Chains A and B, each alone.
Chain A
Amino acid sequence: MIWSLIVIPLGMAAVVFAVPSNRWRPWLVPLACLVHLALVVVALQQPALTSRGHWLVLDPLGKVFLGLISLLFLLCTFYTAGYLSKEQERSNRIFCTCLLLSLSMMALVILSHHLGLMWVAMEATTLTMAPNLYFHRGPRSLEATWKYLLICSVGIALALLGSFFLAYSTLHAGLEESTLFFDDLMRDAPNLSRPWMHAAFVLLFVGYGTKMGLAPMHTWLPDAHGEAPAPVSALLSGALLPCAFLAILRIYHICVAAGDAAFARQIMLWIGLLSMATAAVFMIRQRDFKRLLAYSSVEHMGILVIGIAIGGWATFAALLHVINNGLTKAGLFLSAGNIQSAFGSKQTDDVSGALRRAPFSGGLFLAGFLAITGSPPFGPFVSEFSILTAAFGTGQYWAGSLYLLLLLIVFLGMGATVVGVVLGAPPETAGKAPFRESLWNAAPIVALMALVLILGLNLPASLTDLLQQAATFLETGR
């Protein structure tokens, strides 16, 4: 059963590749994602799902992430289908195939309980996303794709070295066989050699952190997001970055089981604050609103890592924030994509008055901005505020104050750009671009923002339980 979560998107990818029609091919992709979502819903009901030999396990932590990416893929591919139907002059065969391949590989990252397999899957997600970044050919997207591939490949290579270090730490501990199985590592964690484990954590954090977009390894993110088509950006920020976060969580989990979490927490706190600070600095006076959203992603990845570093109640909040951030970011990127199509540009010099030109998209963009910067009644307010209270609650005043200050700076910086884009009067040239809001490009965004609103107003009990299970699983190793 658990294999189907990975194999079915793979099979559908093969089918999509074989379909000759450029018009109908894009519509098969949301269909495949719908099937996948149904499977995921079924899987979430089961208490624990494992494959033979413990290669794949659906544990509580995995359930949170799996649900998120499956939902995001459905909504974003629905948007994609309509988006591609307007761009018929390019062949979308590779694009659609790679979308389903990356869904399959992300599911593999989430489910795999063998660190080597997880690494292979991360590598695969890097590669399957690359052709999609390069969909609009041209010098700028080539530059973005080259940077993405180079920097992420180096990160992944360092993560491989870290995995080797971790395997060697078992060898040094005198165990007969070195292993990369997560369950075995958890069981033997207290016996692992400390220097090796520290080195392994640093390498794995830097390596997977590169994929996650933490500063100072984030340099590929703004370019990739700025140049990729809108649905690809949405999936990159909403689904791929959280998958890298999960990889880091697994390593952190092993550190917790080894009783060595303090070292990991220090590093994570510093890098998290650095990411927020970097994002804040670059968001001020940002002229390109898609790059603005990319830096917002860097900031939120920093928030996630800070939440884990603070611990306790903040762990629950960080996991909740994964969902909040994912949904909001996707909504923001999709509406930004609409605005870009409406005005034909993504520079703030050319874009203003989006509320008049494209009311739904402009309004949802504004709502998304309010959500992502932590305004009630939206979801991210709950998670960001919880992290703040946990910081003050555990006595980490400096970290908490810095966090608050950076959130403020981000709000001001982002607000200036967003308000300039959304309000005001459209420039005269705007009416020329042929863009109309329709079901396919508005409905997914409405759905996403509605979910974010619901999460902000009232967290459903089932979700709370799920998150609580995941947090307990992470903190105690059970």
Chain B
Amino acid sequence: MTGIVIHILLVAGLPPLLLGVIAKTKAVFAGRVGAPLLQPYHDVIKLWRKESLFSGTTTWIFWAGPVITLSATAVAAFLVPLTSESAPISFAGDLILLAYLLALGRFFQAGAALDTGSAFEGMGAAREVTVACLAEPVLFFGLLVLAKLSGTLSLSTMLAGPLSSSWQSSGAPLLLVLVSWFVLLLAENARIPFDDPNTHLELTMIHEVMVLDHGGPVLGMVHYGAALKLFLFAALIVRVAMPFSLRNPGLHAGVFLLGMLLLAILVGIVESVMARLRLVQVPRLLVAASVLSAFSFILLLR
């Protein structure tokens, strides 16, 4: 019971903090003071108080997009085990459900962008979907590696205790999975080097341009959904990297929290030291990440 409560608290409260940590890290690197750590919370609350305007050309898909994204990602967040117990929703084959929930959200988000009837958003939708296509194998190969190591098809058992012995016997494939999943995190959440979350130039946007027309509470849902997606991927990475499970659920949650914050700082560092890739090079990096994760799977097979 306590496990579920902690899980809900983490899912509800943590995601905007991650965004805040990333922004703060980037500010520190740039020599600025930067926005306060809790700024994303303030942003969402501010947006909630505003009014959403819907254009005449849009239909129900326009506001359904962010709503479905948020709810799908939230459900997906309940599939990933965050505490030492298994996740609130877990059954054999739930890793497929995870991938498809994310895809569902992405589909409706892209649909919302197309619904505006503007070519600008359509371009963003096309780019986003391309990146997602190329990034898909990375997630699946990583999950395959974990499934092979644990012998089960449920996320809760894959990311549970036996992982520590897997690290000793097949450290190399797991390390490769970690690296490729980090690249996946950067790609799916529109971070540098794939996309610049702060830019608003037509030539360089991928994700931002899709959500350009939303405003008010709907925009708040978009931001929260994006933060939740980041949280999801970060949780996967942290769980693979920290294979132990502590008896005390509070302590376990604390260590998990620490891991998430460290990962957020790492993302901030990567964003600060790298430049955004040219659009033609994005497929190359994604294919390289796919090759990496495929290679880790092959290594496991021999």
Tell me, yes or no, whether A and B come into direct contact in the complex with CB atoms closer than 8 A.
Answer: no
- Residues on B facing A (Cβ under 8 Å): none
